[in-house]
Chain A
Amino acid sequence: MERTMPQAVPLGQMEVFQALQRLHMIIFSQNVSPCGKFLAAGNNYGQIAIFSLSAALSSEAKEESKKPMVTFQAHDGPVYSMVSTDRHLLSAGDGEVKAWLWAEILKKGCKELWRRQPPYRTSLEVPEINALLLVPKENSLILAGGDCQLHTMDLETGTFTRALWGHTDYIHCLALRERSPEVLSGGEDGAVRLWDLRTAKEVQTIEVYKHEECSRPHNGRWIGCLATDSDWMVCGGGPALTLWHLRSSTPTTVFPMRAPQKHVTFYQDLILSAGQGRCVNQWQLSGELKAQVPGSSPGLLSLSLNQQPAAPECKVLTAAGNSCRVDVFTNLGYRAFSLSF
């Protein structure tokens, strides 16, 4: 990612620069506030923008409601992943995790509450953090990324408690299996590994590319997205998007989607996925495509469902990817409008 920080730009070219910046923007991550009324989006320049969903969804929404309420420079590098606890927004990208208070985030000049860096083996290179996962039962945060390990950080004390080894290449995505507290991680090496948090050991490995039904060698073996429903798991990326039964480690349904998918999630009785195409795809568990709703970005990288109980009127699906726009779907059937950086 190029760093496009200008040193001295003559005023006339400022608009040109900003337009170019918006043209090349990629939104990597999104997250909803605990009250459900705000959406944070992080892009490849390290900026985080906070949008007010309640203002944009209200009946008197104007053009300005679709712009961010505040945008600030959070990281030096891209913001690859964000999660929210009850009061904080945690963002990570260039090797560090930073925490911001939701209550203060709308004020100008917001400073991070704290920043931490997991203990890396070498101090020369600082690997990026691709995925964050909250484990509410033990109040800890799991980070995973370029150094092929999963680090666990206790949120109260800020210390790094475990480092889980096993992946041979960098990790793309994490998911939490709630019933038995296990974490699933998928990475570039094509394996989905299940880790037991209590014993800090690898419990199961599923090498997706070795199964004939779903492997697509021309795309590679990387696992780009993971979602789990305790007994079932969906994963996709290089291999086709497949539904797995975890107990027996067998692939049960292969979804016929040619483009690699970058984000997948379970929702009620459907599976929502988005990736290299323009559309958000809705699948039934039997493998049928229920609907394909086009968005405004040429490729999508993240989906976010606002299911916070405190704001049922803001219950929307937002999708963002290779553009400066965040599409808002009020009803899964069509795109209502787009928020823009």
Chain B
Amino acid sequence: MGSVTDDEIIRKRLLIDGDGAGDDRRINLLVKSFIKWCYSGSQEEEYSQYQRMLITLSQCEFSMRKTLLVYDMNLRETENYEKTYKEIECSIAEAREKIAECKRQILQAKRIRKNHQEYDALVKVIHHYPDRCETLKELEALRKELEHLSHIKESVEDTLELRKKQFYVLLTVLHELKQTLENHEKPSKVEAAQETSMETDPKP
């Protein structure tokens, strides 16, 4: 794997930087100018070339620092992206859980609504019939009336019985009296008849 990426890198750099344009060229030029400076002759040329070399060196250092900074920045950017990616994943998972929870709550709410409606339906049916207290009161009143009436009936029956008995006594006494009178009358009639027959007999 390492060799593959190295090849890739090399290919990319060759494409971009093939003939040594840019930093590489600068370093090569520096090396060449250093060698030239070692073999140079006059003082001013030495000094100017020395200055030029310092400038090139500082340019190289500057570009190197720039590249290092860019590299650091890239690293931090990738870290940042990783972090946001993880956060987004977390929030997606949370949202999914919330959706599932809400779905459960919907089902629960539907069940509750169904129970409410069943309750309402039964209440409607129950309200067709009057209240239990009222019916009990009516029943109580009716019962009392019934008791009262049965008392009256009893007392009326009692007096009826009494009167019947009294009339019975009266009638029996009357009957006996009649009998007695009849019995009394009969012997007196017989005597009277006997007397008249005795009177008529001695005359002729």
Interface presence of A269 (CB below 8 A): yes
Pick the residue among B117, B121, B122, B125 that contacts A269 (CB under 8 A).
Answer: B117
The yes or no answer to B124 lying at the interface (CB within 8 A) is yes
Given contacts A268-B107, A286-B117, 4 further A-B contacts (CB under 8 A): A253-B124, A268-B111, A269-B110, A285-B114
Q: Is the CB of A245 within 8 A of B114?
A: no
Judge if B113 is at the interface, Cβ distance under 8 Å: yes
Task: Say yes or no: B124 contacts A269, CB within 8 Å.
Answer: no
Task: Mark contacts of A90-117 with chain B using CB atoms, 8 A cut-off: 1 yes-contact digit, 0 otherwise.
Answer: 0000000000000000000000000000
B: residues with CB less than 8 A from A are 107, 110-111, 113-114, 117-118, 120-122, 124-125
Q: With an 8 A cutoff between CB atoms, is A219 at the interface?
A: no
B-contacting residues of A (Cβ < 8 Å)? 231-232, 243, 245, 248, 250, 252-253, 268-269, 284-286
A243 & B107 in contact (Cβ 8 Å cutoff)? no
Contact (Cβ within 8 A) A245 B122: yes
Structural contact, A250 and B125, CB atoms closer than 8 A: yes
A contact residues around B120 at 8 Å (CB): 286
Q: What separation, in Å, do the CA atoms of A252 and B117 have in the docked complex?
A: 11
B113 pairs with A253, CB closer than 8 A: no
Q: Could you tell me the distance in whole angstroms from the C-beta of A78 to the nearest C-beta in chain B?
A: 36
Of A250, A252, A268, the residue contacting B110 (CB under 8 A) is: A268
Residues of B within 8 A of A269 (CB): 110-111, 113-114, 117
In contact, B121 and A245 (Cβ under 8 angstroms): yes
Q: Measured between alpha carbons, how far is A243 from B118 in the docked complex, in Å?
A: 10
Residues in A with CB closer than 8 Å to B125 are 245, 248, 250, 252
Instruction: Say how far A315's CB is from chain B's closest CB, in angstroms.
Output: 12
Pick 25 A–B contacts, CB within 8 A, sort by A.
A231-B118, A232-B118, A243-B121, A245-B121, A245-B122, A245-B125, A248-B125, A250-B125, A252-B121, A252-B122, A252-B124, A252-B125, A253-B121, A268-B107, A268-B110, A269-B110, A269-B111, A269-B113, A269-B114, A284-B117, A285-B114, A285-B117, A285-B121, A286-B117, A286-B120
Nearest CB in chain A to that of B123: its residue: A252
With a cutoff of 8 Å between Cβ atoms, the chain A residues found around residue B124 in the complex are 252-253
Q: Which 5 A-B pairs have the closest CB atoms?
A: A285-B117, A252-B121, A269-B114, A269-B110, A268-B110
> Which of A243, A284, A286 has the most C-beta atoms of chain B within 10 angstroms of its own C-beta?
A286
Q: How far is the CA of A253 from the CA of B118 in the complex (A)?
A: 10
The complex places the Cα of A269 from the Cα of B125 at a distance, in Å, of 20
B60 to chain A, nearest CB (A): 58
A253 to chain B, nearest CB (A): 5
CB distance from A293 to the nearest CB of B (A): 19
What's the least CB distance linking A74 to chain B, in Å? 37
A252 to B114 alpha-carbon distance, docked (Å): 14
Closest to A285 in B: B117
